[in-house]
Amino acid sequence: MSLAQPPVPPRRPQPRTHHGHTFLDPYAWMRDKTAPEFLDLLNAENAYAEALTADQGGLRAEIFDDISARTRQTDLSVPEFVNHPGLGDYWYYARTTEGHDYPSYHRCPASSRDELPDPDSAAPLQEELLLDAQQLAAGTAFFALGAFTVPLSGRCLAYSIDTAGDERYQLRFLDLATGEHLPDQIDGISAGGVWVGEDRFCYLTVDDAWRPDRLWLHTLGQSDDQLLLTESDERFWLGVDGSRDSRWLVVTASSKNTSQTWLAEVNADPIGLRSVAERREGVEYDVEVASDRLFIVHNDGAADFALAQAELAATSHEQWQQIWAGEPGVRLLGVSAYDRVLVISERRDGLNQVSLRLRDSAGEVGPAKPIEFAEPLFSAEADDGDEADTDRIRLHYQSMVTPGQVLEYRLDDGSRKVLRSRPVLDHPTFGPYRSQDYVQRRDWALAADGTRIPISLVYRADTALDGTAGCLLYGYGAYEISLTPSFSVARLSLLDRGYIYATAHVRGGGELGRAWYESGRLAEKANSFTDFVACARHLVQAGYTRPERLAAEGGSAGGLLVGAAINLAPDAFAAVHAAVPFVDPLTTVLDPELPLTVTEWEEWGDPLHDSQAYERIRSYSPYENIQPGQHPAILVTTSLNDTRVEVTEPAKWVAELRHTTGTSRPILMKTELVAGHGGASGRYQTWRDAAFELAWLITQTSLPAKTPGD
C-alpha cells in the first residue's frame, strides 16, 4: 500500500464580499495559474495521483489493450462527394494509420456517386494528400485542427491549428495545385472560417474574455484585412458559415436565449451584411438558405420552436410565413433545405430523430414524414450535404448497442443502405462484438416533486440484476444539451466486466423539450442536482446496484452536477469522476473579466448585480458547501490551458475537500499540462486517459476480495 501523502497547499483566506455577505476564500491565491507555486502544486498532485494508482497499472494496461484490440486503427472515414466546377467530381476523406495519433486528409477523383472508395481494396486509390496532421503535430504536446475547407473551385485549402489547447488557432492557406503554402498566415483567431468566393476568406477574432466578437475578411495576397462586423454586447458570440450553394455568407450572433442572423452575397464587392430579422430579447432564430427562399427555425410564440419561410430578401420577422407551428415537448432542432426536400432534425421522446418534408416543383413544402428505426433507444442525425439538387441524403445512426453507422437514404423510394458501420474488432478474451449480447433500456426515477426522470441503461445480457453489479451513472444537465444514446468502444470494457452504464437525463438538459431545460436552470437549477440523486437512489432501489458499487461521472457543467450531488447525498456513491469540473461557479460568474462569464449569466443568473442569484448559486456551489464526514472517493481530471473552466476551480475544490471532509477515501487530481477543455488530443493518449479513469472507477467500486473461510 502506498505511503504517499497528498499535497497540502497553504490556506491564505481572502474576503469576497457581495450583497452584504462575506466569504473567506482560503485558496483565492490559486487564481494565478502561471505562478510557480501553483504549477508546483499541480505537478505534486500529478505525482500523488500516480503514486496512489500505481497498483492499477495492470488493469489500465488491460483496458487500453481492450480499446486498441477493438479499434480498426488503419481506416478511412466515409468519403464525402464534392463537385468542383472546372475541376471535376471528388471524394474527400480522412485516413487513420496504426501508430499515428492524427489522421491524414485526402481526396480522389469520383467516377460515380455510387462507387465509394473501398478501404479494403488492394487497388491503390488515385488519391491526393491534402494535409498530414500527424506531420503537422510533430514536436507538439497538443494538436487540434480548427478550420478545414476548400472553395468551390477546389484549388486551395484553408486550415487552422491549435498547439496549446487554448482554442486559439493559426490560419494557413495551401495551394493544392503546387502543394506549397501561401505567405498568408493569421495568428490568434477563433476556430471556424468560410471561403467568400475563390480568393477571400472570413474568420473571427476574440476579445479579452476570449469571446468571438469580430468578423474579418481576408483577401489572399493582401495584408490589410477588412473588419465586417463587431458584436459589442458581451452576452453574444459571433459565428460564420456559408450557404449550401456557396452564394451567401451567413453570420450569426447568439447569446443563451437570443440570436440574430445576417446574410451577404458572396460575389458582392464590397461585402454588405443584411439582417434577416431584428434582434428581440428572448427570441432565437436560425436561418437556412435555400436556392429560392429562407427557412427559419424560431421560438417566437413557440417554446419548442416552429418552422417558417421567407423571401431571400427578408429583413424582418413580420415577413415570416408559418409552415409548422411546433408541438409542445417536440424540440425542433434545425432544418437542411435541398431543392427536393426539407430534412428536419428534432428531438422527440428524448431521442434525436429525422423527418422529411418533400418539396414540389414550385418549392412548396409538404407534410412531415418521419424516418423510423426499430430500436427503442437510438440517435439519428442528418448529414448536412453540399449538393442542393440531390436524390439522396445521409444519416448518422447509433444506439447504446449499435456502433455508429452512416446510412444513405433515397428520396424517391425511401430505401436505405449502410454505407459504413463502425467496425468493432474481435477481442482476444471477450470474442466478437454482438449487439444481441447487450441490453439497452429506459427506466424512470421519481424526483422529490413527483417528476419522472428518464434513465438510459445498457449492460450485458448475462449481468445479474440482483443489486450486486457495479454501475456508472453519468450526467450533465445544462445548456439544453441532451445526452443522446450513443455507442462507445471504451464503455465495453466496463460492460464486459459486469458493470451497468446509466445516463441520467436530468432537468437542465433538453431531452424532453424546452420546458425540461427551463426547469433546470436559473431559479430552478437545484432540480438538476436532486434529479441526479433521485436517479442514483432509483438504481439501488430497483435492484441494479448498491451504493458501495455505484460511481458517478460528469464533466464541465456535469462536474458541477456531480459535485453538488455529493454534497446533497455523500452516501449515494462510492466513487466520483469529475472532469474539468465547474465547481467554483460563484467566484467565476462574479468576475466579468473571466472568459465566458457574461454569457453565462443567462444560464446561471447574474450574482454580481442580483442578490437572489448570488444566494441561489451560493446555496449549491460545490466548493462552498463541502461538509465534514463521509465522502466518496474522488478523481478530478483537468487541463492547465482550459479556457472554459479554469484549472483554478478544481484545484481549489480538491484542496478544500481534503481539508474539510477528513475522509480516508482518496481524493486525487490529475492535470494535463498541455491541453484544453477537451483534454489530450492524440487518440492513443485519449485511450490511455480513458483506461486510467475506468481502472480507477472499477478499483473504487470493486467488491472486497474474499478471504479463506468466507
Q: Which pLDDT value is given to residue 117?
A: 84
Strand order of the β-sheet with 452-460 is: 438-446, 452-460, 499-504, 470-475, 550-555, 575-579, 633-639, 667-672
Q: Over 60: is that where the pLDDT of 710 sits?
A: no
Bond from prior residue into 270 cis (ω within 30 degrees of 0): yes
384 is catalytic: no
Alpha carbon separation from 612 to 478, 508, 593 (Å, rounded)? 20, 19, 22
**If you search the block for the grid coordinates 473461510, which residue do you land on?**
709
Q: What is the pLDDT of residues 568-587, one digit of tens each?
A: 999 999 999 999 999 999 99
59-63, 123-127, 311-315, 552-556: least confidently modelled range: 123-127
Which helix (H) or strand (E) covers residue 201, if one does? strand 200-206
Torsion angle of the four alpha carbons 61, 62, 66, 69, in this order, in degrees rounded to the nearest 10 = 70
pLDDT band at 112 (very low <50, low <70, confident <90, very high): confident
Phi, psi of 182 (to 5 degrees): -80, 155
CB neighbours (10 Å) of residue 155? 16
* C-alpha cell belonging to residue 581: 469540473
Q: What is the pLDDT of residues 430-481, one digit of tens each?
A: 999 999 999 999 999 999 999 999 999 999 999 999 999 999 999 999 999 9
In the set 556, 621, 639, 681, the catalytic residue is 556
Over the chain, what is the mean pLDDT? 94
Q: Which pLDDT value is given to residue 332?
A: 98
* C-alpha cell belonging to residue 628: 465534514
- Considering 631-635, 638-642, 680-684, the range whose residues carry the highest mean pLDDT is 631-635
Q: Which pLDDT value is given to residue 4?
A: 83
Q: Which of 75, 98, 69, 60 is nearest to 489 (CA)?
A: 69
> In this predicted model, which residue has the larger pLDDT, 154 or 705?
154
pLDDT band at 1 (very low <50, low <70, confident <90, very high): very low
Q: Over 70: is that where the pLDDT of 396 sits?
A: yes
Q: Which amino acid is at 9?
A: P
Phi, psi of 216 (to 5 degrees): -120, 155
Percentage, residues of the chain above pLDDT 70: 98
606 is catalytic: no
> Are β-strands 633-639 and 667-672 bridged in parallel, bridged antiparallel, or unpaired?
parallel
Domains, the chain, in order of start with CATH, read 36-69+427-584+621-700 (3.40.50.1820), 276-422 (2.130.10.120)
* C-alpha cell belonging to residue 329: 415537448
As a whole number of angstroms, the distance between CA 583 and CA 435 comes to 37
As a whole number of angstroms, the distance between CA 17 and CA 7 comes to 29
Average pLDDT on 184-193 reads 94
In the set 456, 482, 677, 681, the catalytic residue is 677
Q: Over 50: is that where the pLDDT of 707 sits?
A: no
Percentage, residues of the chain above pLDDT 90: 89
How many residues does this entry show for the chain?
710
pLDDT band at 210 (very low <50, low <70, confident <90, very high): confident
As a whole number of angstroms, the distance between CA 198 and CA 150 comes to 9
Q: Which pLDDT value is given to residue 681?
A: 83
Q: Over 80: is that where the pLDDT of 2 sits?
A: no
Q: What is this structure's pTM?
A: 0.95
Q: In 95-128, which positions are buried (b, 16+ CB within 10 angstroms) versus exposed (e)?
A: bbeeebbbbbbbbbebeeeeebbebeeeeebebe
Q: Which pLDDT value is given to residue 385?
A: 84
Q: Which of 364, 224, 226 is nearest to 290 (CA)?
A: 364
Q: Which of 182, 133, 127 is nearest to 158 (CA)?
A: 182
As a whole number of angstroms, the distance between CA 553 and CA 566 comes to 11
Q: Which pLDDT value is given to residue 124?
A: 60
Max alpha carbon distance in the chain (Å)? Answer: 86
Q: What is the pLDDT of residues 545-558, one digit of tens each?
A: 999 999 999 999 99
As a whole number of angstroms, the distance between CA 269 and CA 523 comes to 48
Q: In 187-210, which positions are buried (b, 16+ CB within 10 angstroms) versus exposed (e)?
A: eebbbbbbbbbebbbbbbbbeebb
556 is catalytic: yes
In the set 519, 642, 681, 689, the catalytic residue is 642
DSSP code at position 675: -
Strands (E) across 649-688 are located at 667-672
CA dihedral for 454, 456, 462, 467, sign (positive or negative): negative
pLDDT band at 415 (very low <50, low <70, confident <90, very high): very high
